Structure 1
Amino acid sequence: MQPGETAQEADTANAATFSAFEDKAIRLGFIRKVYGILSVQLLVTFSFVIVPSVSDVVKDFVKANHWMIITAAVLGFATLITLACCEYHRTFPINLICLGIFTLTQSFLLMNVGAYINKPEVLMWAVIITFVICLALTVFAFQTKFDFTIFNGILFVFLVVLVVMGIILLIVGRNRIFHLIYASLGAFIFSAYLVIDTQMIVGGSHKYQYSPEDYIFAAINLYLDIINLFLMILRILQFSKS
């Protein structure tokens, strides 16, 4: 609801938005826009991830400048809050600027992950497995008639459990079995979120869906699902190899 706008006017505006979204051309344009943005994000991010494994100079630079990790994390969180809470994700060109900053900061954070992977083949397999899983789940989400968006609340509970487990891991240290359980649960949760967010983009008869103006927010949600899934798969492969 905008300042000075009544609840009835807001409901009317939302109804008009989703009514327009029922138009096939608008929906297809929205889907193309989201996946176009997502493709650029993933291309940039995984390029950053791979660089340390092929360049010792970059690897040493990343390891020697830990302050940049904190800076990137704070800046990424700030841009995400700006987009999500201030509704700038619908304001051009602020939305694209914030999206670019957010993608670069997350890419740098993942480059730090790549810098500490001693076996490049593990990183390569994590990328390949993530790609195959995401492709399969996306096709499944597009084709299935079952509405997974209704499980959003339950999945949030699982996400809270995952966060608590992550805190416990900081205490118990490198317990291999616990790490594998944590990573497996995380892979399941973010795979489920990928299906739900995909169905929210596809729209149609699903209970929850994005509006046509939420293409930036939709792309970020898919991006975070894929990146977190990649990190969980990478963790599984690492501890399976150890």
Structure 2
Amino acid sequence: MDLGVSEPIDLSAGDHQHLIRKAADDNVQSKSKRSSNTSPSLGQQQTHGEPHSKASEQEDIFVVQISDETSPNDSSTLANPFSDASVRRGFIIKVFLLLSAQLVATGAIISLFLFWMDLKAWVLANAWFTYALLPAFFLLLIVLACCGKLRRQVPANYILLGIFTLLQGLLLGAITVFYKAEEVLWATAATALVTLSLTLFALQTKWDFTLLNGVLFVLLFILIMYGILLLFIRSYWLHLMYAGLGTVVFSLYLVMDVQLMVGGRHHHSDLDPEEYVFAALNIYLDIIEIFFFILQLMGLLR
């Protein structure tokens, strides 16, 4: 008996078991019919000197074609690159190294504006310097945020991140000349304490702050509108509320971005392993904004 199967069989679904049982039943029935048909003519076969017919000598052949295609729900096709612990560890190390280099460079630039009196006096006398930095800063920020292919290319991503860090340091330095050195140092210490505390909290807490992405975007939009309104309204309490709200919003953003970088059990952790520049940029901006709003609080409370 020949059995041929032309269609692919899914062995995981148990179809092959039904096929084997059917083949076994057909084989038994075929042998029983063969024995019943050959027993009456046994003498005739012996007369001709052929103990077995040629047809009975044919072996039973079973042909099963198994498809190599995997199921659409195969977990291997849906595996996250970050499921590998070594990939995730390498990504986190790159992000923290880049972030550390950015913060050190920014602190050095701010120190120049803070303690170099001639530079401080020049910035105070030339307000155009601060306004000239703003377009270049936002243009480069848009390029890094929107051009995903560019920020994955080495060394273009490192060059763009370095230029962005330089512009951010110059912009912050131009802002700190309007504050006393003690206020800037206290704001730096407070920012370091807040950043360290929130990072440890993001790593240890069971709360998933990545789910608040939409809520934080709405709060950020409200904060921007609030800031534009304060350009026309001079009120001490409104400015104080603005600085406090900004500190809270970007503190939450810092927790969310750290959880996005760490990934694991969090709902939204779909960063690409090559997006270490983008992850470092997000956390860096969160820390800088926290410093900026804490510095405003220091200036308003003095």
Query: What is the TM-score normalised by the length of structure 2?
Result: 0.71
By how many angstroms is 1:82 displaced? 1.7
Pick the structure with more helix per residue.
Answer: 1
Provide the C-alpha distance between the structure 2 equivalents of 1:111 and 1:103, rounded to a whole number of angstroms: 12
- What does residue 199 of structure 2 align with? 138
Q: Which amino acid aligns with 1:176?
A: Y
Structure 1 residues 190-199 or 86-95, which shifts more?
86-95
* Long gaps (5+) in structure 2: 1-75
- What does residue 110 of structure 1 align with? 172
Query: Residue 90 and residue 171 in structure 1: after superposition, are their counterparts in 2 closer, same or farther (change >3 A)?
Result: same
Q: Percent identity?
A: 43
Q: Which amino acid aligns with 2:156?
A: I
Query: Residue 226 and residue 18 in structure 1: after superposition, are their counterparts in 2 closer, same or farther (change >3 A)?
Result: farther
Provide the C-alpha distance between the structure 2 equivalents of 1:17 and 1:106, rounded to a whole number of angstroms: 39
2:84 pairs with 1:23: yes
- What does residue 182 of structure 1 align with? 242
3-state DSSP class of the match of 2:232?
helix
3-state DSSP class of the match of 1:172?
coil
Structure 1 residues 159-168 or 76-85, which shifts more?
76-85
Provide the C-alpha distance between the structure 1 equivalents of 2:217 and 2:230, rounded to a whole number of angstroms: 20
Query: Residue 172 and residue 201 in structure 1: after superposition, are their counterparts in 2 closer, same or farther (change >3 A)?
Result: same
Q: Which amino acid aligns with 1:182?
A: Y
The correspondence of residues 145-224 of structure 1 with structure 2, limited to 5 A, is 145-173=206-234, 175-209=235-269, 210-224=271-285
Higher relative CO (CA 8 A, sep ≥ 6), structure 1 or 2?
Answer: 1
Structure 1 residues 32-41 or 66-75, which shifts more?
66-75
Deviations 1:152-179 (A, max 9, x none): 1001111111111101111112x11111
Deviations 1:110-141 (A, max 9, x none): 00011111x21111100000000000000110
Q: Which amino acid aligns with 2:173?
A: M
By how many angstroms is 1:17 displaced? 9.2
2:183 pairs with 1:122: yes
Checking the alignment, whether the CA contact within 8 Å between 1:130 and 1:229 is kept in structure 2 is: yes
Structure number, greater radius of gyration: 2
Query: Residue 106 and residue 45 in structure 1: after superposition, are their counterparts in 2 closer, same or farther (change >3 A)?
Result: same
Checking the alignment, whether the CA contact within 8 Å between 1:89 and 1:216 is kept in structure 2 is: yes
Q: Which amino acid aligns with 1:42?
A: L
Query: Residue 57 and residue 200 in structure 1: after superposition, are their counterparts in 2 closer, same or farther (change >3 A)?
Result: same
By how many angstroms is 1:50 displaced? 2.3
Query: Residue 137 and residue 64 in structure 1: after superposition, are their counterparts in 2 closer, same or farther (change >3 A)?
Result: same
2:177 pairs with 1:101: no
- What does residue 3 of structure 1 align with? none
2:110 pairs with 1:85: no
Q: Which amino acid aligns with 1:72?
A: L
Structure 1 residues 162-171 or 125-134, which shifts more?
162-171
Provide the C-alpha distance between the structure 2 equivalents of 1:176 and 1:35, rounded to a whole number of angstroms: 38
Provide the C-alpha distance between the structure 1 equivalents of 2:79 and 2:157, rounded to a whole number of angstroms: 21
Query: What is the TM-score normalised by the length of structure 1?
Result: 0.89
* Long gaps (5+) in structure 1: 1-14
Checking the alignment, whether the CA contact within 8 Å between 2:257 and 2:283 is kept in structure 1 is: yes
Structure 1 residues 126-135 or 61-70, which shifts more?
61-70
By how many angstroms is 1:18 displaced? 6.2
